[in-house]
């Protein structure tokens, strides 16, 4: 059987920069605590902090859990533009 060539890992998921981790840490919350307040899983919070996209409803839950209002969306999730990739 011929040897397999190593695969290059490519990610098709867009990553965005956001302030969720910074805001969470300023409030001395763990990922689990923020997740509990927002009604989402800790894994979802981790994914968001890593820049993965999420649904608008999930964004709303995170915004409220951090003590912001929907008009403060850009303070939490940025301008909504994706960072440029090379």
Residues 4-14 have pLDDT tens digits of 655 554 455 56
pLDDT tens-digit map of 38-84: 999 999 999 999 999 999 999 999 999 999 999 999 999 987 655 54
Where residue 56 falls (left for φ over 0; alpha for ψ -120 to 50; beta otherwise) is alpha
pTM for the whole structure: 0.75
Domains defined for the chain, CATH in brackets? 20-77 (1.10.260.40)
Q: What's the pLDDT score for residue 22?
A: 95
CA atoms within 13 A on the CB side of 9: 1
Residues 20 and 34: their CA atoms lie apart, in Å, by 10
Using CA atoms, how far apart are residues 68 and 29, in angstroms rounded to an integer? Answer: 15
Tell me the C-alpha distance between 45 and 42, whole Å: 5
pLDDT band of 3, cuts 50, 70, 90 = low
């Amino acid at each position: 059987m011929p040897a397999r060539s190593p695969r290059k890992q490519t990610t098709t998921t867009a990553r965005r920069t956001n302030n969720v981790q910074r805001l969470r840490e300023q409030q001395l919350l763990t990922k689990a605590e923020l997740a509990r307040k927002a009604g989402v899983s800790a894994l979802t919070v981790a994914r968001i902090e890593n820049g993965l996209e999420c649904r608008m409803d999930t964004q709303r839950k995170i915004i409220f859990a951090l003590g912001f209002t929907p008009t403060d969306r850009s303070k939490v999730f940025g301008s909504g533009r994706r960072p440029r990739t090379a």
